Structure 1
Amino acid sequence: MPIETVERFLAALSPHAREHVQRRPREEQERLADAWETELRDDTALDTLSELSPAAAESEAAARVVQGLFD
């Protein structure tokens, strides 16, 4: 996975979530970034948001991906 994908994923996270994810092993960060890309690609509801605000769509997808880490 390209490093840029992980960096884009981390940038889309809230500061608290970003700090939490950065403490995880690199392999897990890559897995989460891959899940984020899949969420962006496959969720049709995010398509509409992405047209209005790409950054908001990326943040929403990132929040969904890491939601389970805080449960």
Structure 2
Amino acid sequence: MPADTIGRFLAALDPDQREAVSGRPREEQERLAAAWERELESDEELDTLDELSPPAAEAEAARRVMTREA
């Protein structure tokens, strides 16, 4: 998985989550970033939000992924 995806995922997280995820092993970061991409691709609600504000859609997808992880 390209580091670019991990970087985009980390940028979409809130600062506290970003710090927590940055401290995790690389494999875990890749797994979370992949789940984030799947969330962005599969949710039609996020598609609509993405048309209005791509950063907001990415942040919402990141929030959902991290909520499932908790």
The answer, yes or no, to whether TM exceeds 0.5 is yes
TM-score by length of 2: 0.95
Structure 1 runs of 4+ aligned residues shifted over 2 Å read none
What RMSD in Å do the two structures reach over aligned CA positions? 0.8
Distance 1:29 1:50 in 2: 23
Aligned to 2:44: 44
Give me the identity figure in percent.
64
Amino acid paired to 1:27 = E
How many residue pairs align between the two structures? Answer: 70
1:1-71 paired onto structure 2 within 5 Å: 1-69=1-69, 71=70
Unaligned residue ranges in structure 1 (runs of 5+): none
Unaligned residue ranges in structure 2 (runs of 5+): none
